[in-house]
Chains A and B, each alone.
Chain A
């Protein structure tokens, strides 16, 4: 059976037994998913890419720490979430925001001309930017859960294991997070800049 057909758990087992091809397959499956998760969290694509690298390096060096008591994706997302949270704490501590440090997308967003009539594609892009900006303002606990549920489409059970809070708390935080996010978006629509 080729690596393409194997489950994540089978792949990590093969990798634990020394099959580097299995590791490459895991990287192929997860690199973009992890990037999306971390990027939505940090709002900085370059930093997010570095953290995806760090996550995958951790997987490489700590492969034996994984035990098949949890889903592989849950374990990997936990590593990524911890790294992202640590990075966000560092950023907040530094608090040195300058134009040069804005993400690629932010720069593009600032340069774009407001005279252009927004079509559907532009509307979608504006919505995306607004969501991204609103997510940044959301408290970390809500942000992680909202990204994992509404963007990464993980199950409540998986999210509960990743963020290490009870299922009921996850559900209530998701609800409160969505309400808060909607309020922030509404504010942004009223005051776009």
Chain B
């Protein structure tokens, strides 16, 4: 056993928890190493003295102060959250009861809506569908114009100032338009 292992086993040795073989190694090392022997005796002395450390006691007003604080708590009563947690509707635990109540309200609400469809505002689905079709065609009008890769250079362009439709066809590419 070396000094490092010896140090690791000091407490176990003092408390009698070392296995026989390790214990023998420990004792052998203790007898040969002065430093470790000193460390062991210091720690055993420390443990012995620690048990004799005097106990501190609570002050004379301790009980009185505690009683007053408890009285204050009792007078204040439980908080809203505590009251909610303590509330047991029909003997049920609060959280499952709350879940059940919410589910119940949702079921009632949904059935009310289904059973009272006449009361809902009239919707002209035909008109709606034509409106939406019109919207979609508007949406797909070309909105972004980007130059093509093989753009003819400025030198190729007609200097007359009139736009050539064939050139224009080559120059622009429609993005997002209907084919």
Contact = CB atoms under 8 A, between A and B. Distances in A.
A36 B55 CA distance: 6
Contacts of B52: 124
Contact of A57 (B43, B58, B69): B69
A36 B43 contact: no
A128 interface: yes
A182 B46 contact: yes
Contacts of A52: 58, 62
A31 interface: yes
Interface string B31-55: 0000000010011001101111111
Contacts of B49: 124, 127, 131
Interface of B: 7-12, 39, 42-43, 46-47, 49-59, 62-63, 65-66, 69-70, 73
16 contacts: A32-B57, A32-B58, A35-B56, A35-B57, A35-B58, A36-B55, A60-B73, A151-B51, A171-B12, A175-B7, A175-B8, A175-B9, A178-B43, A179-B10, A179-B39, A182-B39
A150 B51 contact: yes
B53 to A, nearest CB: 5
B69 A186 contact: no
Interface in A151-167: 151, 153
Nearest to A20: B70
B58 A179 contact: no
A171 B11 contact: yes
B42 A49 contact: no
Interface in A95-133: 124, 127-128, 131
Contacts of A182: 39, 42-43, 46
Contact of B53 (A57, A60, A128): A128
